[in-house]
Structure 1
Amino acid sequence: MIRLLAILLLLALPAAATAADRLDPAPRIAVMSAFAPEWQVLKAATSDRKSHSVNGIDFVTGRLAGRNVVLFLSGISMVNATMSTQVALDRFDVTGIVFSGIAGGVDPALHVGDVVAASHWSQYLEATFGRDLGNGHYELPPWRQTTMPNYGMIFPAPVEVRRAGAAPDHKLWFDTDPGMLAAAGKIGDVGLRDCVKPGQCLDHKPRLLVGGNGVSGQAFVDNAAFREYVFATFKAQVLDMESAAVAMVSYANGVPFIAFRSLSDLAGGGPDANEMGTFMGLASENSARVVERFLQAWTPPR
């Protein structure tokens, strides 16, 4: 009787994802973007396309740059990116995750159209909002510690992360896979676009930067003062709304990860109105070009 009850209890529990739950048996590199304009170039370049749908997320399997891939949109924001990444890992045999998208530039040495493959990713809004003491001073609760300088009431802090076979850990930074980063460093010139259309061109030639830091958060940043804070505090090159979340999920699942982010704007650092609406298409294509070359250069671990 006890044995029968135990079996019934197990049957009642939600089942973990298994190979039988997968929508496609082939090992594939996950290539993801935040929203449609970012993945149109990659989707158009993918052959043997087949569509799948899970929880409203459209996945497209096929061949891109000679690799088996599964393409999908993360959705904008940290929560959407976290959810969609885990769904992809549960329903496909993912050998690595590559993010292709746009971002706000933080490093004053970078320009619109440049592409960054950061070595490390952090979350600037994983934080404690401190108590206002007046006169611009804020205080953390006595039990809360941080090593990062605050921006007003915002005190950045590490996030707890769990993974199989390890005790919970608190991490401020999540690393890009070293093998992926090394492959990115060998890409070289891919002919990045510098013109939106004839007569509407950048005053510089975009370039690829491999290394440095990126940060992500729930906010769209178009604020010069906060941009300066992020650069000074995190030594960041780029700022977006998804990459650090994907890096965290990849770390928790033990899957290699890299993000290529092309600057569509300067996160409030430009002299005029935000530039994203003008340069989003150019930046998206530049990131996609780098990703296609990366797929040719990187060999999945299995």
Structure 2
Amino acid sequence: MSAFPPEIVALQDGFTDQVSYSLNGVTFTTGQFEGKPVVMFLSGVSMVNAAMTTQLALDHFDIKRIVFSGIAGGVDPDLSIGDVVVSAHWGQYLQGTAARADGDGFALPGWMSSDFRNFGMFHAIPFGVLKEDLAEPDNRFWFDADPALLAVATDISETLSLADCNAEAACLTRAPQIVVGGNGVSGPIFVDNATLREHVFTSFDARVLDMESAGVAQVAFANDVPYIAFRSLSDLAGGGDGANEMNTFMSLAASNAAIVMRGFIAALDD
């Protein structure tokens, strides 16, 4: 899976034996990728689009694992553009409540609580997810990447070389790295704001943020399907010294995410 066309273009080389199907306006293409049978498709940008297309794929194809490749905004100040982050946990940081003003702060209704520091009026609160073996909603905030898939990602992380210049010869100032583990968060907005970026890092201990991964992770959890996401930083979510650099480094980031995903698929046993 990828969210939008520039991300999936990086995965087309070597994708063979393609057969395409259209379901509810979404194109799903089956074929061979790094010696494995796959179905490849675009989720669409945003949590809702990603959740809908993931469930659509699970309902119509025999899906053994869900693997996401794409770009993201960097949150951890130790990371740089071009780095690839393979988060172990994904949460929805903008799902919750807008609390009412109370003196110099904001107060949640008495029946609500949050495990995280608020961002002004906004408090992150999970609202639960149902699945077949649960009698009532599971109110977890974090949805985990599959441990076995993370282990494969860790194994290959030392063997791959990432790009540090794009096709227009715009180059990074630091060689990109692959980072496996830690937290990632997703929400329904594109972030280019240093204050929100700092909040996400300090409150959620997040390395990266995007607009799809946590939604896909929740659908994977509800369907008991292993999940992992490879997200390469195209920008710093408002933390850079100048203007947002996504347009400059989007193709490089998408390529780096695809390099790691390609190596990961090739390393799978079946």
Shorter-chain TM-score category?
over 0.9
SS in 1 for 2:81: coil
Residue 21 (structure 2) aligns with:
52
Which residue identity does 1:111 align to in structure 2? Answer: S
Q: Tell me the equivalent position of 1:139.
A: 107
CA RMSD after TM alignment: 1.0
Deviations 1:150-189 (A, max 9, x none): 0000100123111112222101000000000000001123
Q: Are 2:37 and 1:68 equivalent residues in the alignment?
A: yes
SS at match of 2:215: helix
Q: 2:170–2:248: 8 Å Cα contact kept in structure 1?
A: no
SS at match of 2:70: strand
User: Which secondary structure does the structure 2 equivalent of 1:287 belong to?
Assistant: helix
2:220 to 230, 250, 254: 250
User: Using CA pairs below 8 Å that are at least 6 residues apart, which structure has the higher relative contact order?
Assistant: 2
Deviation larger for 84-93 or 182-191: 182-191
**Partner in structure 1 of residue 141 of structure 2:** 172
Residue in structure 2 matched with residue 16 of structure 1 by the alignment = none
Structure 2 residue identity aligned to 1:248: Q
Worse overlay, 146-155 or 38-47: 38-47
TM, length-normalised to structure 2? 0.97
In structure 2, how many angstroms separate the alpha carbons of the residues matched to 1:274 and 1:163?
39
Say which of 171, 191, 214 aligns to 1:221.
191
Q: Paired residues, what number?
A: 268
**What is the aligned partner in structure 1 of residue 182 from structure 2?**
212
* 1:212-231 Cα shifts (integer Å, max 9, x gaps): 10000001000000000000
- State TM-score, norm by structure 1: 0.87
Letter in 1 for 2:53: S
CA contact (8 A) 1:43 1:71 kept: no
Name the aligned partner's letter for residue 236 of structure 1. A
1:120-199 alignment, distance < 5 Å: 120-135=89-104, 137-167=105-135, 168-187=137-156, 188-197=158-167, 199=169
Q: Which runs of 5+ in 1 are unaligned?
A: 1-31
2:80 paired residue number: 111
User: Structure 1, residues 86-138: CA drift from partner, whole Å, max 9, x if none?
Assistant: 00000000000000000000000000000000000000111111002253x10
Runs of 4 or more above 4 Å deviation: none
CA contact (8 A) 1:194 1:282 kept: yes
Name the counterpart of 2:232. 262
Residue correspondence of structure 1 range 234-245 to structure 2 within 5 A: 234-245=204-215
What's the counterpart of residue 12 of structure 1? none
Q: Which has the higher strand share?
A: 1
State the shift of 1:147 in Å. 1.6
Partners in 1 of 2:178 and 2:74 — Cα distance?
13
Q: d(CA) in 2 for partners of 1:198 and 1:292?
A: 23
Deviation at 1:45, TM superposition (A): 2.4
> In structure 1, what residue type is equivalent to 2:251?
G
Distance in 1, Cα, partners of 2:139 & 2:30: 35
CA distance in 1, matches of 2:27, 2:169: 37
> Taking every aligned residue pair, what percent have the same amino acid on both sides?
54
SS at match of 1:95: coil
> How many Å separate the matches in 2 of 1:36 and 1:134?
47
How far did residue 196 of structure 1 move? 1.4
Helix, strand or coil at the partner of 2:219: helix
Deviating more after overlay: 199-208 vs 274-283: 199-208
Offset of residue 298 of structure 1: 2.3
Aligned residue in 1 for 2:8: 39
SS of the aligned residue for 1:149 comes to: coil
Give the superposition deviation at 1:199: 4.4
Q: Distance in 1 between matches of 2:46 and 2:79?
A: 24
What letter is aligned with 1:143?
Answer: W
